[in-house]
Structure 1
């Protein structure tokens, strides 16, 4: 994605992206910066985060890093406080950070600690991060929240139960929250990527990649940039009357 392709859709916006050190989160942060926004990039992977922030700074973008552990409510509050102070407010939040952890295991092979870890980070962490950002998003007057779900709950991906359940919860949370904050002029939407070639999906066996590739209407590998346009759109004025919606970005593997 280039500056011209997004046409400065987010000029003057202040956006926080979680899980932004690498993979999809880094792609989102890059596209949002290219669209003209100031971007706060948060992640638990501090070294990778610092490297990614430095790369974008060298390109001339207004980006800042913030260490974040979504399993720790104190870390969440501290990160948001830091971001709002540094950016002078907040217009957009991209809840991207998540853990997979349950991949390759059947339901019976999951243990309680693993289940709880996935739910703590993916569901509770998204909820607490959103709550921490709501005061600043209200003050913005044009706040936008983009929650990263997944297409796995749309087709029932097997041997990934905790992750699938957590991403299904994100869809429900998106719809409920959209109704709660609509009067504050805050939009809340979910983007559900298909299997994307990033570090976080390196564990996925070849047969699952083939299932996605062959099942897509657009039969090619899905790349991070394929998802970034939907996120930028959901943050922009082009989508100000769209809220509580789920946009599946998976090349037509699942059509909803």
Structure 2
């Protein structure tokens, strides 16, 4: 199996895409640590996969550091992979940039941007110690085509893409690879709030038409976490069935 025996931490893993990624990684033999702010759902997902669960609030630096300490204890001090999937998306779209409330903007950046940085910073010593660490940042293709009426989220995911490239250069000398995937709208419980017209816009505009489920992302993420993926460091993969090309 592609990830046999590799310790992988997935944030935002309680439900939706994060839970589906966790299931795919488990099927490839990964030893999983799942983290989320939604403790009840997270423990249920972890229990079904035989994984370890730890609560984390990505907006709280102390919580992120506590998670890293728990991961170090669970893995013996070496982590092979980190999936930065935790983010805020629900309830922040549908309004123009002029009407975004400042606190709403700041909250999205705290979780999606600063949280990704904090989590990577906290995990970096463990990734280095493994000798073949991999980071996969979950971005969004909204940052590639400029989705309207969603600017706080679009800006945050654009920042994640930019951080991926900078992190790849900083961590590359330690043979830690950093990549990003950019899905489009997926059919999960996390996107039930998205208007049907936006779903149809994506489905009709893909090179491979139709809805895209979260399970279609997991094989790509699994490969990017593998030892053989180091040559892809710094790259962005728009895993959206051809809605956006780069």
TM-score tier, shorter chain, comes to over 0.9
> Offset of 1:37 from its aligned partner?
1.1
Match status 1:97 vs 2:48: no
**CA separation in 1, counterparts of 2:128 and 2:71?**
15
Larger mean CA deviation between 125-134 and 94-103 belongs to 94-103
Question: Residue 167 of structure 2 is aligned with which of 168, 177, 183?
Answer: 177
Match status 1:189 vs 2:179: yes
Q: 1:100-130 CA distances to partner (integer Å, 9 max, x unpaired)?
A: 2421111111100000000000000000000
Partner of 1:218: 208
Partner of 2:41: 48
> Offset of 1:82 from its aligned partner?
0.3
**CA separation in 1, counterparts of 2:145 and 2:127?**
33
Q: 1:183-211 CA distances to partner (integer Å, 9 max, x unpaired)?
A: 00000000000110112211110110010
Question: Residue 5 of structure 2 is aligned with which of 9, 12, 24?
Answer: 12
Question: Residue 14 of structure 2 is aligned with which of 14, 21, 27?
Answer: 21
Question: Residue 148 of structure 1 is aligned with which of 138, 142, 145?
Answer: 138
Stretches (4+) displaced over 2 A? none
**CA separation in 1, counterparts of 2:20 and 2:75?**
20
> Offset of 1:87 from its aligned partner?
2.1
**CA separation in 1, counterparts of 2:157 and 2:191?**
15
Match status 1:116 vs 2:114: no
Count of aligned positions: 244
RMSD: 0.8
Question: Residue 65 of structure 1 is aligned with which of 39, 43, 53?
Answer: 53
Provide the TM-score with structure 2 as the length reference: 0.98
> Offset of 1:254 from its aligned partner?
0.5
Larger mean CA deviation between 113-122 and 231-240 belongs to 231-240
> Offset of 1:83 from its aligned partner?
1.3
